[in-house]
Structure 1
Amino acid sequence: MSQSTSGATASAPHRIAPGPISESASAPATAQRRGRLPSRRIGVSVACEACRKRKTRCSGSRPKCLSCVQKGIDCHYTSANATETNSAVLKRKFREVKEKTSDYEEFYDSLSGLPDTDSQAIFQMIRGGADIKTVMRQIREGNLLLQLSLAPETQRRYEFPFVTTMPSVLLTADNLYLRSLIFDANFQDENQQQLNIPLNPNSRTGSPQYIYTQPYHSAEIVNTRLSTVDISRWTAVTTDNELMRTLLHAYFLHEYSSYTSFQKDIFIQALIDGDKRFCSSLLVNAVLAEASVISPF
C-alpha cells in the first residue's frame, strides 16, 4: 500500500511557476499602456445655443466656440460668463421677468391715479420710445423740479441763543449794522419801518448780493433712488447703508459739481441695477472715501 502511494507521488508532474519580472523590463510596457489611454475630456458648464440645438459637443470658448468657428456660424451664449450654469441662467431670467412685471404693475397703479395732464405727458413719452424704467422714474421723480423751484424761507437764517429781536438800545438811526445784509436776513422789517430806514437795495431778489441771504447751509440732495439703494453689496468696508447713503449725499452736494469724473444719473442707476459696466466696487469705495473727508459723519 505504501509502495503504490509513493510510486504515484513520484510519477506526478512538478508544477513550474513563472519567474519574477524585473522592473526594467516592465517599465516600457507600463509606459506604453499608459500612452494608449485617451486623454480626459474637460467638461464645460454651459454650451452655446447652436451646439445645444444640434446636440453636439461644445468647447465653451468665448466669444465663439470651436465648432461654430469651423462651421462659420454665429455663436451665442445665454450665460453672462463661462462659470454661470444653466440653472443660474434660468434663475437670472426669472428674476428679470419678475422685476419687469412688477414695474408694469406699478405703472398701471400709478397711471390710474395721475391727473389728466400728467397722464398725457406719460403717454407721449411711451409713444416716443421710452422704456418702462424711464417712465417709472419720471412718475416717481417728476415733481422734483417743482419742489426745487419753491423759494426757501430767508427771513431768519439763524437765531440768537437768548433773544430773537434786536435790543432797543441799538435801534438808532446812525447804527450802520441796521443797513447790513445780516440785519435784513435775521430781523423783520418792522424795526426798519420804526426808524424809517430804507431796505438795503442789495438784498432784493435779483441783485448780485442776494445770494448771501439764501440758506445754502441747509441745502440737501433730494433723490429717491439714493434713499433706497443697497450700497452694501458693492463694498466690504461696512454694511451700514444709512451711513453710506449720507456720504453719497454729501459727495454729490459738495464735491461732485467741482470734480465731475463720471455721469451722476448713470452711476446711480447702475448702482441700483447692479450694472458693472458703469459701476464697480472700486468706484464706489473711491467715492465713499472722498465723501468721508468732506462729511462730518
Structure 2
Amino acid sequence: MPQQRVLFPNQGFRTPNDDQAASETSKHRKRTQINVACNYCRSRKHKCSGERPVCAACQDRGRECVYEADPDSTRAVTLKRTHAVLEQETQNLRQLVELLRTRPRTNIEAIIRQLREGDDVQTAIGNADAAVERLTGRLSGIEVQWNLVVAGRDTLRDLVRSNFKSLYPVIPPGRSAASSRTSSTCSSKDRRMTIRNLLATDEPDSRQQRIHGVTTPLTTGFDPASLSQLRPLVDDRLAAVEPRLWTTVSVSQIEMANMLSVYLCWHHTEYRLFDEDAFIQDLLSGDTEYCSQLLVNSICSFVATKLGNHDRGRTLTLRQAFIEEAIRLWTESRQLFTVTVVSAACILSLSDYFHTNETLSTNILQHGFYVAGRLGIFSATTATEPTTSALQKEYKAKAIAGWGCYRVCTTVALHVLEGPDCSREPSLPAIGKDVADVDKWLSWPRSSDVEESTPFSTSSSFASCSLARLMSDHTSLRRYLIDARLAGRATSEVVSLQMATLLLHNLTQWADSLHPQLQCHASARPFVLGMHLTAHKIVLESFRPFVGRDRISSQIYTSSLKQMTELIRQSHRQWGRLPNLSNAVGTLYNVLYSLTPFLEMDREANESFLLVAEILRHQSGTNPMIAGLLRYVLSAAVEKGARLPPEADEILQKLLVEEDDANPDDKVNASSFSFIADLDMLYSDPEAATLRSSLKRMKDGRIP
C-alpha cells in the first residue's frame, strides 16, 4: 500500500509586514474602561477620558470638570452611599433633638458646649450616652451592694419591716406635738421614732453641755448690726488681722475680725473648704500660700450676704462692696491654679447664688471644680501620702479643699436637680493618716476650757464626707427616676424601692458612726442640725414616689417630714432668727412643698408650715431671690387648692404688695430659677393629689 502524505492546514501567504500591521491594529483598538463620565461630557454625549481631577475634553475647552461618582464606583453606588450618609446625619439630628427634649439641663449644656468647641453631633451624642452608662454603672453598684434579687411586694415589705421596724415605728400623721412629747418622755421606743440618732430627744450630759457652751462664742443675743463691737472671737488671733493687706473695701479691723469669726463659727464646719489654722497663720503673716485676697473677700461677701438679710444698715453696705471686690479679684485670678482659688470659688458661688445671680454662681463653682481637677485633687489614681512636714501641709490643704468642693457640689445637686456634675470623689483621703493626729483646731474648743483635747474638726469632716457620698448616691437615683419620667420609660418599682431602702440603711449606719458631739440634742450646733436635716431630706425624697402604693413608705415619709419640722423648731428655739439655716434654704422650701398636702388634715402641719414661712420671710428682708421663691411657693400652694394658715396668707399678701411696688430693675422672676423648675418636677400636681389621697387612705387603713 503506497505511503500517504501528511496534510497540514493552509496558513496562507504571510509576510513580516502583516504581523506588524496586526499588532498595530490591536493596539489601536484597545480602549480604557470608564465607569462614569464627567457631567460636561455626559451632557455633550462625548466620550470622556475619565482622567481626574480634569478630563482631556474639559481641559481642552477650559470647562469645570465635575464627577458625580467615586473613581472606584458607579454613579448608582455613589448615590446609595450619599443617601446612607444623609440618613445617618438625619438620624443623629433626630437623636440630638430627642436628647435636648428629655435630658436634664446639665447634660444639655454639656452637649451644646461640645458642639461649640467643634465636635460633631455623633461625638456629642456618644459622650452623652457614656454619661448615662456611668450613671447606670453607679446605680448597678448600689444594686450589687444591696445584693438585689427579684422580689415581690410582700418580700420587700418583710425586708423593710425586719430592718427598720425598731427605727421607724408607725407615726400617725395627725398626731399632735403635745402627745408626741408626752409619749417620748414615757417610752424609750417612741423616742426612737425616726432613724436612730438622727434626732435623739435625750438631753446631753453635763460634759456635752459644757463643751457646746465654750465652743459656741456667738449667743442668741448676737446683733448683726453691731459688727464694730468686739465680742468673743472664735479665735483670739483674728483680732490682729490687718484689713489693708487683704482688701480695698473700707472696713475696720474689728469689723473684719468679727466677720471672719462669724464665718468660722457658723459656716466653716459645714463645708470646711480650707485648713483653718494654716489660713489664720498666713492671714496674720501676710503670706499667700494658704490665704489670698480672693479668699478673704469671698468669705466677707458670704458673711455680709447672710447678715444682710437681717440688717439694712452697715452690713448691707459692706455686702455690696465685698461682692464687687470679690468678683473683680475672681476675674483677675481665673488663670491661677491654687488651692485658695478652689476654696474661694465654692464660697463665692454660694454668696452669688443667694445674691440672685444663679448663672454666675454655677459658672464659678464649675471653674473651681476644674481648677481642683488640674491640681490633681480629682485624679483617677489615689495619691500617696507624703512624708516631709512641708508636703504634709500641702497635702492636707488639698485634701480639705477637695472634699469641701465635693460637699458643696453634692449639696447644690441635692437641692437642685440639674446642679453641678461632680460624681467622682477626691482621690486624696479626707484626712491623711499622718495628719489626723494633729488635726485639732486648738483654739476651738480651747484646750484650757476642755479637760481632754477632742479632734472635733476631724470627726465633723469624716461625718460630712460620708454624708456627701450618700447625697451623691441619692442624686444619682433621683436623676435616674427623673430621666425615666421625662423619657416615658417604665421603671421597676421594686428595684427603685429597694434602692431607697438601701439609702435608708446607709443613713442609719452613718448616724450610728457619728461622734457624740455630732448627735442631735437640745444644744446642738446649727451645722449639726443642718446635717440631720439633709439626712431626712434624702429619706423624704427617696420614699416620696411610693407613698401612694405602700403603707410602710408612707409611714417613713411622714416620719421624716415630722422630724424635719422638729429640727427646725429646735433650731429656732435654741438659736432664734440667726442665719444658721440660711445655707439650707433649699431644704426649707422643700419642707413647705411637702407640708402643703397636710394643711387641711393636721393642726401641727399648719404650725410647722407657718414657722418655716416666717423664717424664710425674715431671711428675705434684703434678698430678692428668697422673697421671690417664697412668693412663688405660697402662690403655688393657693393655686393647688391648699388653704394657708391666716398668718401665712398675710405673708403672701405682703409679698405681692412688695412685688407691685418694687423697682422693675430689682424684680426677680422666681420661675426663672432652676430650683423652682426642679420643685415643680418633684412635686407636680398629680403627685400632690396622689399624696393627699394616699394620706387619707392611710388614715382610713386602706393602704395595704
User: TM-score higher than 0.5 here?
Assistant: no
TM-score by length of 1: 0.38
Q: So what's the TM-score if we normalise by structure 2? A: 0.18
Q: Which one has the bigger helix percentage?
A: 2
